[in-house]
Structure 1
C-alpha cells in the first residue's frame, strides 16, 4: 500500500501529463483512489495541486483534463504611447523596503517590524470578536467610528499642555492608513503644481504621495536632530509655500526626534508664514530611550495636520490611521478622503479599537520597547565590529532603523548587489531623498526577523565595503 500522501500521486501524474495530449482526460477520482489505495481527500488534494500548477483543469460534472497549452505571442501596446502621452509626474519605483526577500535571506531592508514584535494574541482575539459584531455587516460613518475618533483625540489630549485647546473627536477623520492620509493632505492643502516643503532625507511614502498628487517638492536639509530651522525659513520665504511635511518623532530614515526648542522654532515659522505642518507620526509606538511628544499637542490654532497611523504597530493588514485637522482644512480633507475611499472598513476599525483599548496593549508596548532596544544595540555593535565603514549617523532614541553613512567613494549600487548575492538585503539610502542624495547612505532595519543574524549581516556588508 502506498503512503497516504498526495506527493507521490502528483509526481506520477505529472509524468503522465508530460506525455499526454492536451485535453486528455485524467482517470476519475474513484479510479485513482483504487490505484493508489488512498482516500478521496488525498486524491482531491493532489488534483488541486496540479490545478494550481496550471497542468490540469477541472470541468464540473465532466472530469479533469490535461490543460491545453496556449501559445504565447507578444502583444503590441505601442498605440497606448500616443493615447497616454507623457506623464505629468513620474511615480518613483517600488522601494527596497517593500520588495519581498527570500526566506533564507538576512532582511535588513524592511520598513515594518517583524511578526514576533506584533501583538498577535490581541489581534486574533480582536478579529474573533469583530467577526461576531455588527461591524461585520454594517457600514461605518464616513469620518470613522465615534469610539475610535474619541480614542485618537484622547491620546493627543493626554500630551497637550495646559492652556492649549485640545482636539475634539469630531476633528478626527479615520483613514485607511497613513499613505492615504498623506495623499489626501497634500491634495487638499497644496494641490497639483503647488510647492510643498519636505525634509531631506524623508519617508519614501511621502515622496511617492507627492508624486501622485503632482506637488512641487522643495527639499529642506534634515539630519539626526531634525530639519535646519534657518533653511526652513529661507524655503518658506523663497517659495511662498503653505505646507511643510515632516516626521518630528523617530523620523524615517534618520530616527530624528525634535527637541522642544526645535519644535517651538518650527511652529513659530509655520505660524509666521500662515502655513500648515503636516505631521506624520507613524512611529509613535516605537520609542526606546524617549517618549513621543507630538507637535500637534502644542498647537491650538489649526496649523498642524496630524496623522497617527496604527498599521505598523498592530499589523500591516490593519490599515487604520487617524488624521486630526481643524477648521476649513478638516472639511476639505474629509471631502477628499470620502471621495478617495468613502469609508474605512468597519471590521478593521473595530479591531484597531479593540486592541488599543485592552489593558494588555500597554504591557505589549513596554515589552516592545525592551525588544527594540536590544535589537538596535546589537545591530549597532555588529556594525562597529564587522563594518566600521558603515557607522550610524546617530543612535536613534526610537523608531525601527539605523541610518548609516558610507564613504563617498563607495559604489552604492554595487554594495547593494554584492550584499544581496551573499544573502543580505539592505535598503539603499538614495530612495529616501526627494532630490539628489546628499551622500552615500544605507537604511538598516533592526526590527525585522532573526536578529541573531545581525553579526553575519554586518560581516557581509563590511566585506562588500572592503
Structure 2
C-alpha cells in the first residue's frame, strides 16, 4: 500500500485484526503500522481516530492503542417503553401520520394525506397517483436554485430574521391576499401545516369543537386533534360547504372555529360557489366564530380566473387566511403565511417566540427572489397548462379502463381527481390491490372526520412523471379492480 492509500482501506484491515484480538490487548504501534502497510503517519493517525470514535479501540497517550471492551449492543435487549403509556395519559392521541413518508394500510401516503407524501417509499416501478406535491419535473427547480444562490450572496443572508418575517416577503404575500391586506397583517410561517398547528392552538381551547368540511384535508384533522380539538363534520357538495348545515352546526355545537378550503378544495377540487362565499362568512360572524381559510391551492389553477380569497373582503378579522408556497413550487420550500387581524395576531406572534423564533432567513430570502422574478409567472402559466392536460388525460384513461365507475367531476384547479367508487366496493381494498399492481392511490376514508357516506379514491394527476404514466396507471388500476 502506498502513502496515497485511503484511510478506509487501513481501517478495514485493522477491524479484521481487532476482531481476532482480546479486549485490552495492545495493537501494533504507529511505527509498526506504517512499516507493515506502507502508509504515511497521517493515514495511520486518521484510521486510529476513526476506530476510537467508533468505540473499537482505546488510545492511551504514552502507552499505545488497545482493543476496547466489547459492550452489548443496545438492540441486544428488547426495549421496554411501556412506562410511556402512563406518562402520556390524558394527552390527546393523534394517529401517526408519518410526515417523512410512511404509508398506512390502504393509503400510500399515510393518514396525513398531503403531509405524508410517500413517493420516496414506493417500490421501484410503482406509479404514484398518491401524495399532494408536484412531481419534480413540474417544479421550478432551476428558478429555485437560482433564487437560493442569489439569496445566499446577500451580505445579511445569515442574520437573524424578524419573528414576523422579512418585510419584502410580507409585502409580496399581502399583495397576493388582496388590496385590503397590509404587510402588518402577515406572519411568515414554516409552511402551511405549521401555520395550521399554530392557529388551532391559538384560537380554540383544548376540548373545543372545530367545524370542518366533510371530506377535508387529513393534515388539518391531525393538527386539530393534536391541539386537543374535536373535529365536527359539515357536509359539502360540488359547490363547497353547505351554509344551511353550517348554521345548524354552529348552533348545535357552540363552535367558535370553522376550517375550510374555499378554492380548489382538497380532496374534491371544489370551488365555493359565489353566493355561498358571503353566506359562509355571515354565518360565522353571526356565531361569533373565526373562519380559517386554507388557500393552499391558489397557484394551482388550470388556467381559468381564480376567485379572490375570502380575506380580501374581510374587515373585522373574521377570516384568518393561510397560504403556502410548497404546493406550486417544492415541498422543501417551507414558506407559508398567516393573514390575521386583531388579538389573534398578537397570540400568533407570541407563539412564534415560543415555538421556533423565526423562519430561516436564507429560505425567506430565496422566496423573495423567486416571487420577484418573471420566471415565477412563467412557471405558473406552464404549470397551469400541464395540470389541465394531466387532469384530462387521467380522466379519459379512467373512463376507458373503468367505464363502470361514475366519472369524476373535472376540477378547474388543484392536483387531484376525487373518484367515487361503485357501491359495495371498499376503497381500502382497492388501494391495497392497486399497490400490488404497481400503482399507489389514496383511500378516501381518511379524508372524512366521521363515517364516510360512500367509498372514494383520491387520485393525483401531478405526482406521476408524465401523462403516459397516468394512462398506464389507469390500466393497472383497472387490473387491480378486476382482481
Structure 2 CA distance, aligned partners of 1:92 and 1:289? 37
Contact 2:189 2:359 in 1 (8 A): yes
Alpha carbons of 1:267 and 1:81: their partners in 2 closer, same or farther (altered >3 Å)? closer
**1:384, CA displacement in angstroms?**
0.8
**Structure 2 residue 386 is matched with structure 1 residue 371:** yes
Tell me the CA shift for residue 213 of structure 1. 0.5
Aligned: 1:110 with 2:114: no
- 2:239 is matched with 225
Alignment of 1:218-297 (within 5 A): 218-293=232-307, 294-297=309-312
CA contact (8 A) 2:164 2:187 kept: yes
Q: Closer, same or farther in 2 for the Cα pair 1:223/1:34, shift >3 Å?
A: farther
Listed as ranges, the matches of 1:176-187 within 5 Å are: 176-187=190-201
The answer to whether the 8 A contact 1:229-1:265 is kept is yes
What is the match of residue 194 of structure 1? 208
The alpha carbon displacement at 1:70 in A equals: 4.6
CA 1:134–1:434 in 2, change beyond 3 Å: closer, same or farther? farther
Shift of 1:291: 3.0
Q: Deviations over 1:294-334 (max 9, x none)?
A: 11112222111001111222221111111100111221222
1:454 aligns with 2:458: no
How many residue pairs get aligned? The number is 446
Match of 1:465 in 2: 481
1:7-46, CA deviations, whole angstroms, 9 ceiling, x for partnerless residues?
xx89x98x989x97799999x99899989xxxx99xx9xx
Change (3 A) 1:274 1:31: farther
- What is the distance in 1 between the residues matched to 2:177 and 2:441? 35
User: Given the alignment, which residue of 105, 113, 126 partners 2:147?
Assistant: 126
SS of the residue 2:176 aligns to: helix
Q: Distance in 1 between matches of 2:57 and 2:481?
A: 51
Corresponding residue number in structure 2 for 1:147? 168
User: Separation in 1 of the partners of 2:458 and 2:37?
Assistant: 55
In the alignment, which of 85, 109, 113 is matched to residue 89 of structure 2? 85
Q: CA separation of 1:220/1:20 partners in 2, compared to 1, >3 Å: closer, same or farther?
A: farther
How far the C-alpha of 1:271 sits from its partner, in A, is 2.1
Larger CA deviation: 320-329 vs 90-99? 90-99
Distance in 1 separating the partners of 2:82 and 2:126: 39
- For residues 422-459 of structure 1, the C-alpha deviation after alignment (integer angstroms, 9 at most, x for no partner) is 21111111111111222111111101132321122112
Q: Secondary structure at the match of 2:263?
A: coil
Q: What whole-Å deviation, never above 9, does each CA across 1:350-405 have from its counterpart, x for those lacking one?
A: 11111011011111110111111111111111111112344453111000111111
Structure 2 CA distance for partners of 1:399 and 1:392, relative to 1, 3 Å: farther
Query: Hey, what does 1:3 align to over in structure 2?
Result: none
Indicate yes or no: 2:443 matched with 1:428: yes
Rate the CA distance shift 1:382–1:337 in 2: closer, same or farther, 3 A: same
- Please give the alpha-carbon distance, in whole angstroms, between the structure 2 residues aligned to 1:90 and 1:386: 38
RMSD of Structure 2 on Structure 1 (CA): 3.6
Distance in 2, matches of 1:128 and 1:58, equals 44
Task: Please list every run of 5 or more consecutive structure 1 residues that lacks an aligned counterpart in the other structure.
Answer: 1-5, 161-165
- The answer for unaligned runs of 5 or more in structure 2 is 1-5, 99-108
- The aligned counterpart of 1:359 is 374
C-alpha distance in 2 between matches for 1:387 and 1:77? 48
Mapped to 1, the partners of 2:454 and 2:412 lie a distance apart of 23
Give the 3 Å change call, closer, same or farther, for CA 103–130 of structure 1 in structure 2: farther
Partner of 1:305, secondary structure, is strand
- Counterpart Cα distance in 1 of 2:227 and 2:319: 20
Alpha-carbon displacement from aligned partner over 1:193-232 (angstroms, at most 9, x marks no partner): 1121101111111001101101121111113321111111
Q: CA offset at residue 235 of structure 1?
A: 0.5
Q: Is the contact between residue 305 and residue 325 of structure 1 (CA under 8 Å) also seen in structure 2?
A: yes
Question: In structure 1, which of residues 310, 315, 326 is the aligned counterpart of residue 325 of structure 2?
Answer: 310
Q: Secondary structure at the match of 2:375?
A: helix
* Residue 90 of structure 1, CA deviation: 3.1
Q: How far apart, in 2, do the equivalents of 1:374 and 1:202 lie?
A: 25
Q: Distance in 1 between matches of 2:212 and 2:96?
A: 16
SS in 2 for 1:444: strand
Asked if the contact 2:406/2:422 (under 8 Å) is kept, the reply is no
The answer as to whether partners of 2:290 and 2:318 remain within 8 angstroms in 1 is: yes
Question: Which deviates more from structure 2 when the two are superposed, residues 97-106 or residues 261-270?
Answer: 97-106
CA distance in 1, matches of 2:426, 2:476: 16
C-alpha spacing 1:208/1:177, structure 2 compared with 1 (3 Å) = same
Q: Any runs of at least 4 consecutive aligned residues in structure 1 with deviations exceeding 4 A, and if so which?
A: 19-26, 28-35, 56-59, 65-71, 389-392
- Residue 136 of structure 1 aligns to a residue whose secondary structure is coil
Tell me the CA shift for residue 412 of structure 1.
2.5
1:75 aligns with 2:79: yes
Taking the TM superposition and a 5 Å limit, the aligned residue runs for 1:54-65 are: none
Q: Please report how far the alpha carbon of residue 463 of structure 1 lies from its aligned counterpart in structure 2 after TM superposition.
A: 2.0
Whether the 8 Å CA contact 1:314–1:352 is kept in 2: the answer is: no
